[in-house]
């Protein structure tokens, strides 16, 4: 079984796609270094990340298929689901042949898999746009910790750079130990492990006010905790100001 091994970056992945398209011997799996474990039957080919090749693939998907498809590929990549890379390869083969309408092949199995991965990522990203909570630190920075299922930090950073553009903030993915840091001009990603934080003097007052609002807005005789949890699964509660006190 032939494995293409790439460095785990999106560029690396697109380079692997490039190689896969132009190879006489296409891969049966595409796996990141981190996730690869050798076995008896595997032969491997190491993919060197190449900017030119990945740019070509990027532009080709956008121009020859559609921006929607490009976004689909990116979101699926962020899902980090098992075998998502090889599924994306098969999806792209089909898409280059059929064009943007491939996304309407609702009964095709590979398209279904891809669309379901996209949906998972975009749903969590959308949820987290609402559920991320910033706390103000002593140094005036707004700090937002989270532990999402998928690797959605870039999507969030882009969103908050537009929305909260005149304040310094950090979005911290604690499980991936990765943070987006914004300085009112631009944001960048950097590795960051969990650290002690010191809250600003004002912070507690606002958390308290928010908690008060949250408690008093609910209508007792319509209580429905099941629906609450369905919309706001418990796995996200840990970092919610209104839920962890």
CB of 221 to other proteins, least distance (A): 8
Tokens linked to 50? 């190449």
CB atoms within 10 A of CB 162: 7
Q: Which residues bind other proteins (CB under 8 A)?
A: 101, 104-107, 112, 126-127, 129-136, 142, 144, 160, 164, 166-167, 206, 208-210, 212-214, 216-228, 230-232, 240-242
Closer to other proteins by CB, 29 or 211: give it.
Answer: 211
Closer to other proteins by CB, 80 or 242: give it.
Answer: 242
Residue indicated by tokens 């079984």: 1
- The answer to whether 172 and 192 have CB atoms below 8 angstroms apart is yes
CB of 207 to other proteins, least distance (A): 8
CB of 65 to other proteins, least distance (A): 16
CB of 6 to other proteins, least distance (A): 32
Decide: helix, strand or coil at residue 61.
Answer: helix
Helix, strand, coil % in the chain, rounded to nearest 5: 55, 15, 30
Q: Tell me how many helices (H) and strands (E) the chain has.
A: 8, 8
């Amino acid at each position: 079984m032939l494995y293409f091994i790439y460095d785990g970056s999106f560029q690396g992945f697109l380079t692997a796609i490039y190689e896969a398209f132009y190879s006489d011997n296409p891969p049966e799996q595409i796996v990141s270094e981190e996730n690869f474990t050798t076995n008896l039957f595997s032969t491997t080919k190491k993919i060197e990340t190449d900017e030119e090749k990945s740019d070509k693939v990027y532009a080709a998907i956008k121009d020859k298929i559609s921006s929607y498809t490009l976004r689909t590929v990116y979101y699926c990549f962020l899902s980090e689901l098992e075998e998502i890379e090889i599924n994306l390869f098969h999806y792209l083969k089909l898409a280059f042949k059929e064009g943007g309408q491939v996304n309407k092949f609702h009964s095709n199995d590979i398209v279904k898999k891809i669309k379901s991965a996209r949906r998972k990522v975009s749903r969590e990203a959308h949820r987290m746009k609402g559920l991320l909570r910033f706390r103000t630190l002593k140094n005036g920075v707004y700090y937002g910790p989270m532990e999402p299922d998928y690797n959605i930090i870039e999507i969030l950073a882009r969103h908050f750079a537009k929305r909260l553009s005149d304040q310094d903030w950090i979005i911290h993915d604690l499980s991936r130990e990765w943070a987006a840091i914004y300085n009112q001009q631009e944001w960048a990603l950097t590795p960051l492990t969990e650290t002690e934080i010191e809250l600003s003097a004002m912070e507690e007052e606002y958390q308290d006010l928010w908690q008060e609002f949250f408690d008093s807005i609910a209508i007792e005789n319509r209580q429905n905790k099941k629906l609450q949890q369905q919309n706001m699964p418990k796995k996200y509660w840990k970092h919610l100001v209104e839920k962890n006190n």
